Amino acid sequence: MNLDRGLWIDHEEVSAQGRERLAVMNPYSQAQWGTVAVADAADVDRAVASAQRCFDTAWSTTSGYQRGRLLNRLADLLDAQAERFAELETRNNGKLYKETLVQVRFAARSYRYYAGYADKIHGEYLPLDNPQMVDFTVYRPFGVVALITPWNSPMTILSNKLAPALAAGNCAVIKPSEFAPITTLEFAMLFKEAGFPAGVVNVVTGAGDTGAALVAHPKVRKVSFTGGNLGGRKVMEGAAVRQVPVTLELGGKSPNIVFADADIPRAVNGAIAGIFAAGGQTCIAGSRLLVQRPVYVQMVEELGRRAALIRQGDPMQPDTQLGPVANAPQHTRILGVIEKTRSGGARMVAGPGGAGQQVPERGLFVPATVFADVRNDMDIARHEVFGPVLAVLPFDDEDEAIRIANDSEFGLAGGIWTQNIARAHRVASRLECGNVWINTYRMGAVQAPFGGRKGSGFGRERGSEGLRAYLTVQNVMVNTAETDDDPFSIRT
């Protein structure tokens, strides 16, 4: 397979001929299997103009009922081709095929979910003190929105943004990660097949300069970004120049807290799923495992044993448990973090060179790594690794667990393992994070809002909150009086 793709603008593929190209790599085979074009400022302008034209002439006057029908048709097409999209996603970012297949079907579910909302967007009547004034609110779309997505879960994260944006009546220009752009380009083609008007969805590929040109475009009225904190700050700075609203979903260093009364086998499974599923390349990874001292040794020993048994290999094979990391820069960075941590005082109980761990000869692989006796002031506990690397920290009591958990610039997610329901609710209420799991970890639902606090960003995706992020409120006040008041009087 060798895919060479241009841009997608106004329901047509724009030839990449004459443009700079980016290689599309397979992190397992380490072979190039395609290229994509690099969009410049003129290309971005053309894409935004297409979206604006569609909004002005077609999409803004399309009824919510019809928008919902189109979104359901899109979901049908995506479901029918789920296996193909999952294979492309795995080939592009190295995630296990069995996970990318679930993620593609989750994306289809998102488009169905927001299809149901499309004809139910309404304001409310507001009774005022003055009975001669009639007041009501109306929810309006922004117009053209910019959606910038990362490389770890392109299809799912795009659906978090695009499904509510379209249901709300916006048109979109998408900038996928330069490391994993293929599924976004292929998916955009389905909009033409589904019967959407030309220009409702456009895709510009490239790196940071392309994203910056999109954020800076004067006709973009809303920006949604998922990615690293440095990229998030740049997006926010660019949008601030034009005072454009932004939704940011950024990094995490999420605490997964195990109390001594927890069901320990379930907690071990939850810790493994929290950090090694998706190769740890997820913003909600439970990368800081806080364990109460009475069960600390037991947990560390079991985690080390289980980590050493995790099977690495071809992400397309059903028995593979850990695929390669997504790209070469990330691979180099993760191995550097592991080496720095080994020499910095933490105790490695599983990882590179560990007993029983077999690393495939080819591919960008990092073994499942567990560090014990980590302090919360160590780099591995402070900074996002975004790989299969777990830091285990001991704690004595509930107050100490909460203090350690909240002592972070991030605030995306947290987990609590306990059989004491009162403690579970008490601790959840004190955690400074946007998402809390109790006796589970890394579960998601299209109905459940998702987003962070502090350095993990702001705004929410999914659920009804995700829809409101793509709507602005307009207030309408009607004077029903037969005569006008004194123009110089106070009008209330």
Q: What is the pLDDT of residues 202-223, one digit of tens each?
A: 999 999 999 999 999 999 999 9
Give the pLDDT score at 173: 98
Return the H-helix or E-strand segment holding 390: strand 389-395
pLDDT above 80 for 357: no
Q: What helix, strand, coil percent values describe the chain, rounded to 5? A: 40, 20, 40
Higher pLDDT, residue 345 or 73: 73
Give the pLDDT score at 354: 75
- Please pick, among 89, 99, 186, 249, the residue that the annotation labels catalytic: 249
Higher pLDDT, residue 356 or 186: 186
Across residues 232-242, what is the average pLDDT? 95
Higher pLDDT, residue 215 or 15: 215
Return the H-helix or E-strand segment holding 126: strand 125-126
pTM as predicted: 0.95
Longest distance between any two alpha carbons in the chain, whole Å: 89
Is 283 noted as a catalytic residue in this protein?
Answer: yes
**Distances from the Cα of 400 to the Cα of 222, 270, 380, 395, 438, angstroms:** 40, 21, 19, 6, 18
Q: Which residues of 388-426 are buried (b: 16+ CB within 10 A; e: fewer)?
A: bbbbbbbbeebeebbebbeebebbbbbbbbbeeeeebee
Residue in the structure block whose two tokens are 């069901």: 263
Give the pLDDT score at 344: 87
Residue in the structure block whose two tokens are 């189109």: 70
13: which strand partners? 8
pLDDT in tens, 74-99: 999 999 999 999 999 999 999 999 99
Residue 193's Cβ-count burial label (10 Å; 0-12, 13-18, 19+) is: exposed
Give the pLDDT score at 1: 67
% of the chain surpassing 90 pLDDT:
93
For residue 295, what pLDDT band results from cuts at 50, 70 and 90? very high
Give the pLDDT score at 489: 67
Give the pLDDT score at 359: 83
Q: How many alpha carbons fall within 13 Å on the CB side of residue 47? A: 32
Question: What residue spans define the domains of the chain?
Answer: 3-250+452-475, 255-438
- Please pick, among 99, 178, 186, 283, the residue that the annotation labels catalytic: 283
Q: How many Cβ atoms are within 10 Å of 63's Cβ, its own excluded? A: 11
Three-class SS state of 418:
coil
CATH superfamily of the 3-250+452-475 domain: Aldehyde Dehydrogenase; Chain A, domain 1 (3.40.605.10)
Is 171 noted as a catalytic residue in this protein?
Answer: no
Q: How many residues does the chain have?
A: 492
CATH superfamily of the 255-438 domain: Aldehyde Dehydrogenase; Chain A, domain 2 (3.40.309.10)
Give the pLDDT score at 490: 59
H-type alpha helices, 135-223? 154-167, 182-194, 208-216
Tokens read off for 32: 């190039």
For residue 2, what pLDDT band results from cuts at 50, 70 and 90? confident
247: which strand partners? 224
Give the pLDDT score at 492: 64
